[in-house]
């Protein structure tokens, strides 16, 4: 394959992924044919990059996990203490995760939640370190050890994504709600958690 055709193939692949995400957000049952039409390519081109719908969704999930990991790291930068780092990381992650939240539902049918958890291992390890520091310093208070608390936080975020998907929580409130919920689950008083999240979100 020449450099020109290779770059065209890469551009096609990126376009298919971008369009697929938009189509799946609009219609979670969108078929490969629908995605091909929306991307302006023939069906064969889509299948040339992704052998089936599950493979396409798996690739989208991989991209989502990379974006979540980057946001998690960026949200902790410059934090003055573990509570601020936790709130900042959740707010940053939610901004990214909100775009991908429908993938959680879709991935349960294809990638499986175990597959998502495995992909999120680096994010979880960073969360465990942050929670452990907060517990050691007395900023957080929980009957759970840091690894178990990190698992609870992860499941909370998945549950809140599903709550938004099911219309139980307005998307515009979800990020702040997720951050306050994570802080209170770590033993931070609700009033302090609320004011901290408001200050960070407004900043």
Provide, rounded to the nearest whole percent, the portion of the chain with pLDDT above 90. 49
pLDDT at res. 110: 60
Average pLDDT over residues 120-145: 95
Percent of the chain with pLDDT over 70: 92
Predicted confidence (pLDDT) per residue in 44-80, tens digit: 999 999 999 888 988 888 888 888 899 999 999 988 8
Three-state secondary structure of the chain? CCHHHHHHHHHHHHHHHHHHHHHHHHCCCCCHHHHHHHHCCCHHHHHHHCCCHHHHHHHHHHHHHHHHHHHHHHHHCCCCCHHHHHHHHHHHHHHHHHHHHHHHHHHCCCCCHHHHHHHCHHHHHHHHHHHHHHHHHCCCCCCCCHHHHHHHHHHHHHHHHHHHHCCCCCHHHHHHHHHHHHHHHCCCCHHHHHHHHHHHHHC
What confidence category does residue 3 fall into, taking pLDDT thresholds of 50, 70 and 90? low
pTM flag (> 0.85):
no
State the average pLDDT for the chain. 88
* pLDDT: which is higher, 127 or 103: 127
Average pLDDT over residues 164-175: 89
* pLDDT at res. 111: 59
pLDDT at position 7 is 80
Q: Model confidence over 86-114: pLDDT tens digits?
A: 999 999 999 888 777 777 666 666 656 67
């Amino acid at each position: 394959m020449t450099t020109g055709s290779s770059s065209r193939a890469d551009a096609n692949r990126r376009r298919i992924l971008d369009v697929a995400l938009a189509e799946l957000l609009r219609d979670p049952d969108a078929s490969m044919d629908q995605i091909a039409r929306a991307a302006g390519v023939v069906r064969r081109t889509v299948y040339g990059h992704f052998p089936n719908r599950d493979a396409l969704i798996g690739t989208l999930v991989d991209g989502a996990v990379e974006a979540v990991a980057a946001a998690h790291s960026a949200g902790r930068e410059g934090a003055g203490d573990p509570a601020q780092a936790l709130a900042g990381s959740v707010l940053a992650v939610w901004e990214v995760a909100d775009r991908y939240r429908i993938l959680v539902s879709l991935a349960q049918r294809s990638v499986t939640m175990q597959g998502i958890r495995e992909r999120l291992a680096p994010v979880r390890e960073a969360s465990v370190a942050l929670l452990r520091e907060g517990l050691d310093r007395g900023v957080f208070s929980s009957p759970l050890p840091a690894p178990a608390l990190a698992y609870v936080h992860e499941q909370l975020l998945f549950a809140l994504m599903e709550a938004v998907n099911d219309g139980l929580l307005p998307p515009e409130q979800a990020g702040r709600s997720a951050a306050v919920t994570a802080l209170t689950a770590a033993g931070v008083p609700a009033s302090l958690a609320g004011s901290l999240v408001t200050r960070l979100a407004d900043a």
